Structure 1
Amino acid sequence: MPVTINRPTTDEYPDYYQNYMKLLPEGDLLFMLEKQASDLRYMLKDISNEQAEEAYAEGKWSIKELLQHLIDSDRIFGYRALCFSRGEEASLPGWDEAKYIHNSFANIRSLESLLDEYELTRRSNMAMFHSFTHEMINNYGVANGRKMKLRGLLHVIAAHELHHLNILKTRYLQKP
C-alpha cells in the first residue's frame, strides 16, 4: 500500500525549483501525477501533427519538442527517484535540456507516438512511486550537485510538469 507523500519543506529540494513548487496545489501527489498524463492527452486532442511542430515564438520549442522534454524529464527524474529510493550515495549528473531536445529530432515523430511514449514512461514511474515505503520517501540523494530528499524530488516532478502544462495552455493552445 502506498504511503502518503506529504509536501516537502523548502530544504528538501533545490532553491531553483521554488517557483515551480508555488504552482503545485495541495492534495494527493500520486493522484496529481497520474492525472497529468490524461490531462496532457486531452489538451492535445485537437492538435494536428503540423500544429504540433510550431513554436509560439522564434527560438522556442514546438509542442512536440516540449512533449519530448516532458518525456526526457520523466525518465531522468524517475531514474533519480530510483537511485534515491535505493540509497545511492554517488552524485547523479545534471543534463542539458536544450541539447537533449536538439538531439531528439522530436519534430519528425508523430504527435501520437510522443503521447504514447509519454504515457508509458509516466505509467512505469507511477508503478515505482507506488512501491516506495515511508523510509524510502525520506531518503536523500544528490543530483546535479544538489542534495534533495526523495519526497522533494517527487513533488518537483509534478510541479515541473504543471509549469509546462501551463505554458501549453497559455502560449500554445490559447485561442485568438
Structure 2
Amino acid sequence: MMRPQQDEFAPYYDKYISLIGEDVLAVLAAQQQSFTDYIRRIPEAQADYAYAEGKWTVKQALGHIIDTERIMAYRALRVGRGDTTPLPGFEQDEYVALADLSQRSLASYADEFAAVRAANLFLFRSFDAATLTRRGTASEQPVSVRALLYIVAGHLEHHIRIFDERYFQ
C-alpha cells in the first residue's frame, strides 16, 4: 500500500503518519503483539503514575490509545463504505476525564488493546485498493481510508515514544 499523500489528511496527523514506513498492515499486525507485551511489562505500581502535574497517568494514556484506535477505525469503516457524511471530531481530554480508567488492571488494558487491534485488523485487511483511496471528512478535514490506517499505527508509535521518554526512562 502506498503512503497517503499530503492532501489525504489534515497536517496535524503528519506527526503520526511520518513514523510509519510503507507496509502499514505489517506494522499494525506487529504492534498487536508488541504493544500487548509492552503493557504487560509495566509494573502495576506504575499504573497510576503521571510524569508531570496535569498529564495523564499510564492507565489514562492507555485508555486514550484504545479510544482513539476505535474512533479512527470507525472513521475508516464509514469512509471505506462510501459514507460521505462529515464525521465530527472528539475531545480526547473529556473522554479520559469521563472514563473511570484507574479502577482497571494493566492486564485488562493489554487484553482490550489486543482484542480491539485484532478486530480492526480484520476490517483493515478487508479493504481493497479502491476502498483504501476513498476519501471523506473527519473533524472538518479531508481524510482517506489509508491515511486513517497510518494514523492508527503512528498514533500508537507516538505514545510508545512518550512512554519511553517521559514515563519509563
TM-score (ref. length: structure 2) = 0.95
Distance between the aligned counterparts of 1:124 and 1:30, measured in 2? 13
- Residues 138-161 of structure 1, C-alpha deviations (whole Å, 9 max, x = no match): 100111111111111111111111
User: Does 2:163 match 1:144?
Assistant: no
Percent sequence identity over matched residues? 37
C-alpha RMSD over aligned residues: 1.2
CA shift, 1:66, in A, is: 0.7
In structure 2, list runs of 5 or more residues that go unmatched: none
Partner of 1:16: 12
Say which SS state the counterpart of residue 55 (structure 2) adopts.
Answer: coil
Distance between the aligned counterparts of 2:53 and 2:163, measured in 1? 16
CA shift, 1:54, in A, is: 0.8
Deviates more, 1:155-164 or 1:94-103: 155-164
In structure 1, list runs of 5 or more residues that go unmatched: none
CA shift, 1:100, in A, is: 0.3
Partner of 2:29: 34
2:40–2:107 contact (8 Å) kept in structure 1: no
2:19–2:157 contact (8 Å) kept in structure 1: yes
From 30, 46, 49, the equivalent of 1:51 is 46
Aligned length: 169
From 148, 151, 155, the equivalent of 1:156 is 151
Distance between the aligned counterparts of 1:122 and 1:44, measured in 2? 14
Partner of 2:117: 122
- Residues 39-72 of structure 1, C-alpha deviations (whole Å, 9 max, x = no match): 2222233323231111111111111111101110
CA shift, 1:37, in A, is: 2.2
User: Does 2:86 match 1:91?
Assistant: yes
Distance between the aligned counterparts of 1:29 and 1:21, measured in 2? 10
Distance between the aligned counterparts of 1:45 and 1:86, measured in 2? 35
Distance between the aligned counterparts of 1:102 and 1:50, measured in 2? 21
2:135–2:143 contact (8 Å) kept in structure 1: yes
Say which SS state the counterpart of residue 50 (structure 2) adopts.
Answer: coil
TM-score (ref. length: structure 1) = 0.91
Distance between the aligned counterparts of 1:137 and 1:143, measured in 2? 16
Partner of 2:3: 7
CA shift, 1:97, in A, is: 0.3
